[in-house]
Structure 1
Amino acid sequence: MSLLNLKHIKKVFTEGNTNQIVALRDIDLSVEKGEFVAIMGESGAGKSTLLNIIATLDQPTSGTITLNQTNLSHLSEKDSSQFRREHLGFVFQSFNLLDTFNNRDNIFLPLVLSKAKHEFMIERIKPLSKALGIDNLLDRQPSEISGGQKQRIAIARALITQPDLLLADEPTGALDSGNSEKILQLFNHINHSGQTILMVTHSAEAASYAQRTLFIKDGIIYNELYRGDQNRSHYLEQIINSLAALQSREVTSQ
């Protein structure tokens, strides 16, 4: 059974009294438990809107979305906040760490908001900090560590609640190539341990680490690729060719 299901998702934004912008037209999407899925598309294609709807930060104009058989469209604002804390993890391009907290307290934040006991938080962080290689960073401030280290702290914060789904929005966008590779290898390790990941990215290199890549254009999924048994370099070539085909269609239609 799929972990995440979207059926006929449409999202329309209204500017002023009459002008309507259709961000998503008719999205059908299923993600199986344990999958690592990348979503690609140009700016304005609808991928960030789609991620926000899955994250319960926005509601679709029509259609249904379920995660672990919970209908997210029926959640109140209060219930949506609780659902996000308990079932979703978030990794952002800009890290979104609080400079007034040390790294340990940044990681603890979702559990603090859920009023977890301190002993429980200590129990959760020990294996996580070891797996992510951040033991020696916990007592430091975010301002004292590198971008790649900040992203590891952010990943720990996302995973400490043991979420059903990890949502990553351009997680390597603010990193150099070396740190990007380390973070993506870390995502691979996390995924192989059973974590389901949905990642929005502009980077073909980043998408090549996923098991499946969806391409969004004008609010619809126009293509998807499965990695299967291919090595990453062959899969990367397929992704690049699909992006080139999309750009070719755009040029032809102009």
Structure 2
Amino acid sequence: MPLLTLEHIRRIFKEDSQEVIALKDISLTVKQGDYVAIMGESGAGKTTLLNIIATLDKASSGIIKLDDQDLNELTEQKAAKFRREQLGFVFQNFNLLNTFNNQDNIFLPLVLARKTPQEMKQRLMPLAKQLEITNILARYPYEISGGQRQRIAAARALITQPRLLLADEPTGALDSHNAASLLRLFDQVNEQGQTILMVTHSAVSASYSKRTLFIKDGVIYHELIRGDQSKRDYLTKITETLTALASEEVQ
């Protein structure tokens, strides 16, 4: 049984009394332990799709389920609880609070979930070691580098032990060295069973995934599966597909 199921998702916005179709017809499944990258040009509907999966937006029509939970049926209060307990988020701009030190930024979702200080520390220690952030937990986000901030943000997302990790352009604000470091981290947690869904413009970032979906004009236009390909070979396929999509050559 799939972890995440989307069936005929459609999202229509109204702008100046006119309808704008952000998503026309999206159907996909994500299995437990999968690592899916979503690509497409600006305006293709990638972020809208991610927001619907994150329950930050609602589809105009269609079915979306995580396990057996119909996400369209969640009230606003239940959706907030669902996000805290089932989802982890990594954003391009980190979304850290400079008034909290790094440790308290990581603990924030657990505080909202009313976990005990003992449980929070028990969850943090192995995670901090894996992410190599133990020595910066007492510092503040404005005192550390962009790569370190993104690792703090990743720790905050992973400490809830989410069913699904959602990443929106996670390497967009990082240099190539820090981007590669974060992507290796995603590889590690995926190997440990973490399911990842990542929106990205970067073919290099997508080459770390197991599957890459290409969205164009509100539909899934093409899909690549990595299989046994090396990252280098998979990167070549992704780049070729992006070029073909731009010239509408993919059938």
Q: TM (normalized to structure 2)?
A: 0.98
Residue aligned with 1:183, SS: helix
Residues 194-205 of structure 1: pairs in structure 2 closer than 5 A: 194-205=193-204
1:69 is displaced (CA, Å) by: 1.2
Q: What count of residue pairs does the alignment treat as equivalent?
A: 249
Residue aligned with 1:2, SS: coil
Aligned to 2:122: 123
Read off the aligned partner of 1:43 and give its amino acid letter: S
Q: Distance in 1 between matches of 2:135 and 2:28?
A: 40
Tell whether 2:16 aligns with 1:16. Answer: yes
1:144-178: CA deviation from partner (whole Å, max 9, x where unpaired): 10000000000000001100000000000000001
Aligned to 1:186: 185
Aligned to 2:150: 151
Residues 64-213 of structure 1: pairs in structure 2 closer than 5 A: 64-213=63-212
Deviating beyond 6 angstroms after TM superposition, the runs of 4 or more aligned structure 1 residues are none
Residue aligned with 2:3, SS: strand
1:42 is displaced (CA, Å) by: 0.4
1:94-144: CA deviation from partner (whole Å, max 9, x where unpaired): 000000000000000000111111111111101110111110010000011
Q: Distance in 1 between matches of 2:116 and 2:181?
A: 32
Q: Distance in 2 between matches of 1:68 and 1:119?
A: 30
Where do 5+ consecutive residues of structure 2 fail to align?
none
Tell whether 2:51 aligns with 1:52. Answer: yes
Q: Distance in 1 between matches of 2:132 and 2:35?
A: 22
Q: Distance in 2 between matches of 1:22 and 1:54?
A: 17
Tell whether 2:23 aligns with 1:28. Answer: no
1:16 is displaced (CA, Å) by: 2.9
1:90 is displaced (CA, Å) by: 0.1
Q: Give identity over the alignment, percent.
A: 62
1:168-220: CA deviation from partner (whole Å, max 9, x where unpaired): 00000000001101110110001001000000000000000000000000000
Q: Distance in 1 between matches of 2:130 and 2:69?
A: 30
Aligned to 2:3: 3
Where do 5+ consecutive residues of structure 1 fail to align?
none
Q: Distance in 2 between matches of 1:101 and 1:68?
A: 34
1:248 is displaced (CA, Å) by: 1.1
1:26-55: CA deviation from partner (whole Å, max 9, x where unpaired): 100100000000000000000000000000
1:62-83: CA deviation from partner (whole Å, max 9, x where unpaired): 0010002110000000000000
Read off the aligned partner of 1:219 and give its amino acid letter: G
Residue aligned with 1:111, SS: helix
Read off the aligned partner of 1:114 and give its amino acid letter: A
Q: Distance in 2 between matches of 1:56 and 1:247?
A: 30
